[in-house]
Amino acid sequence: MARVARSLILGVTLAAIACAGRHHSQSEPTPDIPLKVTNHNWLDVTIYVLHDGQRTRVGSVTGSSTQEFTLPGRLLGQSHQLALLGEAIGSSNYARTEVLNIQAGQYIEWTLETDLRRSSVGVY
């Protein structure tokens, strides 16, 4: 009887140890976010991502053209929120989006108009 009790205790202990390791799994990294910027403005525009109180430069879009970018998933942080800022090169004009809530698998399309204040953004 003592032998059965020891085997049972040993089995339960090993099972508990094996299960304990599974609770420390790392969360999966946030996937990258595709960003398509269509610039109807005549000026080139530098694109930034505003996240976690920081501003990160993404690149620039030549006037009257379209450019595609891939935003690293780390820019979303825990909040899954970011905003976009576009500054016209050679001008004080800029466009800024509202805060965007981005989920895995979504992408962003941003259209910059000739009057940057009239620009629009969509998350799909």
What is d(CA 46, CA 86) in angstroms, rounded to the nearest whole number?
5
- The answer to whether residue 114 is domain-embedded is yes
Domain CATH code at residue 48:
2.60.40.2890
- The answer to whether residue 71 is domain-embedded is yes
- The answer to whether residue 91 is domain-embedded is yes
Judge whether residue 49 has pLDDT over 90: yes
Tell me the residue range of the domain where 90 lies: 33-123
- The answer to whether residue 9 is domain-embedded is no
Contact 72, 37 (CB under 8 A): no
What is d(CA 31, CA 65) in angstroms, rounded to the nearest whole number?
26
**pLDDT, mean over the chain:** 87
- The answer to whether residue 89 is domain-embedded is yes
Of 52 and 15, which is predicted with more confidence?
Answer: 52
- The answer to whether residue 84 is domain-embedded is yes
Q: pLDDT at position 21, please? A: 53
Q: pLDDT at position 17, please? A: 60
Q: How many domains does one find in the chain?
A: 1
What is d(CA 64, CA 55) in angstroms, rounded to the nearest whole number?
25
- The answer to whether residue 20 is domain-embedded is no
What is d(CA 115, CA 94) in angstroms, rounded to the nearest whole number?
9
pTM, entire model: 0.77
Q: pLDDT at position 113, please? A: 98
- The answer to whether residue 23 is domain-embedded is no
Q: What percent of the chain has pLDDT over 90?
A: 69
Strands 81-88 and 94-96: antiparallel
Q: pLDDT at position 20, please? A: 56
Q: In DSSP terms, which residues pair with 59 in a beta bridge? A: 47
